[in-house]
Amino acid sequence: MIRVLGRYVAGTALVLALVVLGVVLRVIQVGHQDSHERADAIVVLGAAQYNGRPSEVYAARLDHAAGLYRAGVATHILTIGGSQVGDRVTEGEAGRAYLADAGITSSALIAVGTGNDTLVSLRAAELVLARRGWHSVVLVTDPWHAERSQLIASDLGLSVQVSPVTTGPSLESGVETRYVTRETLGTLFYLLTGGSSGAGSAVL
């Protein structure tokens, strides 16, 4: 009996290890892919901002989105993300203002200032996209956040491409292991529950 139970435990542990490994490999694989064919809109995942000034992580995403817009990938950019306690503006609004200051026409910019995590923010963005009859998007975020963002957006019914940033703090030496670990946990939690994991910062 003990031998049989041991085999079940070992088999279960092996399956779990393979699932985790598969998610890790997927996070890394998607993080190294860049797909940005023509779409209805570019969606920039929010990150920290300080009194309207985007953090280095967020600024890298916004600069990347501006480059895609200027290359003709889409005619509109959605900047998404809510606010933390004490914030005067949302991440979405801070991103919109940053891009306007960078020369992107105001009519092309839409701030969606709802949500303190990836899932809630993308749900809010999907509602805005649906009202405008838009379905296809290019998500802009950090490489290691790309897989979870793509998975959530696809589950919301969007046609999704992901174009991760190629510069910024998320690509500095020595950070990959920490980011991949956090995103692996967040992705596994989402796959198991369909909810927000709370892993890492709000809207990584």
Query: What's the pLDDT tens digit per position in 39-96?
Result: 999 999 999 999 999 999 999 999 999 999 999 999 999 999 998 877 889 999 999 9
pLDDT at site 198: 59
pLDDT in tens, 109-133: 999 999 888 999 999 999 999 999 9
Q: Torsion angle of alpha carbons 165, 148, 197, 129, nearest 10°?
A: 90
pTM of the model: 0.87
Continuous H helices in the chain: 2-31, 56-70, 91-101, 118-131, 146-155, 176-193
Residue 203 has pLDDT above 70, yes or no: no
Cβ partners under 8 Å of residue 165, min gap 6: 60, 61, 63, 64, 140, 141, 142, 143, 171
Integer Cα distance of 178 and 171 in angstroms: 12
- State the CB neighbour count (10 A cutoff) for residue 140: 29
Q: Return the pLDDT at 200.
A: 44
What are the structure tokens assigned to 112, written together?
């969606």
In CATH, which superfamily holds the domain spanning 3-193?
HUPs (3.40.50.620)
